[in-house]
Amino acid sequence: MWKRVGAVGLGGALGGILRQASATALSAPGSVLPWGTLLVNAVGSLALGALMGAVLEAGWPRPGWREFWTVGLLGSLTTYSTLAVETLRVGASSPILGGLNLGGNLLLGLAAAWIGLSGGRNLALRVRHARGVPRPEELRTGARSAREVAE
């Protein structure tokens, strides 16, 4: 258990550093919309989708590493609380821009997660097939490899 807690802590530290660096790099003077938050939420959604696609299809990454990447690094990289506060801040001066900020983050995040999930699953399937490792449903047929199922 403590290895997983340590993995989350290390991933969280790295994700927090990446989020701060992104926010600093993308903070344009005079910009109304918080572009840094949009970027880290979209990238984090894409990466988490890809990881979960690989987990669902092939069980990668292994426990410990899974917590490092998902709860730790990507959990601290992405940010719902900052999105909420920034949306309220932007919305106070322009309700339309506040709505666009919230809607843009939501739609871009969902699209990125879907693309990542599909890509992660497809990559895991290709690797499994190239290695001749059967999928769980193929194992139920009694085949010893994916190639045997195809024959």
Q: What is the dihedral of CA 9, 10, 12, 18, to 10 degrees?
A: 160
- CA atoms of 104 and 18, how far apart (whole Å): 21
Tokens 């590493």: give the residue.
65
Residue 78 marked as a ligand binder: yes
CB 118 within 8 A of CB 53: yes
Please tell me what DSSP assigns to residue 62: P
Instruction: Tell me whether residue 75 is annotated as binding.
Output: yes
Report the binding-site residues for Na(+).
75, 78
Report the binding-site residues.
75, 78
